[in-house]
Amino acid sequence: MNNLYNGQIPLNMLPVGKKAVVTSLTSDGVNRRRMLDLGIIDGTEIEPLYKNPSGNPVAYLIRGAVIALRSDASERILVSIL
């Protein structure tokens, strides 16, 4: 996979069924706080489970919970594929 982030890709580019680990958050303010509150921190394993046919939102497995994120939020989460 080609990327611009030194081995990292935005979460919204991760294919369904592939696992990755969170490497950084590029959002700030309220959106960053929400991601942190959901447990999306550096080192968190994350896996896309289901994608809406329209592509938005996507259901992710995060710390044992299934959480739906829109692409505007998931594109601000950088991950490394496992």
- Tell me: pLDDT of 5 over 80: no
| pLDDT at site 2 | 47
Residues in the chain: 82
Q: Compute CA 70 distance to the chain's CA centroid, rounded to the nearest angstrom.
A: 10
**Quick one: which of 39, 77, 44 has its CA closest to 58?**
77
- Mean pLDDT (the chain) is 91
- Is there a contact between 20 and 77 (Cβ–Cβ < 8 Å)? no
Q: What is the DSSP letter of 43?
A: T
Amino acid (1-letter code) at residue 42 = D
Domain spans in the chain, listed from the N-terminal domain onward? 9-81
CATH class of the 9-81 domain in this structure: mainly beta
pLDDT in tens, 23-50: 999 999 999 999 999 999 999 999 999 9
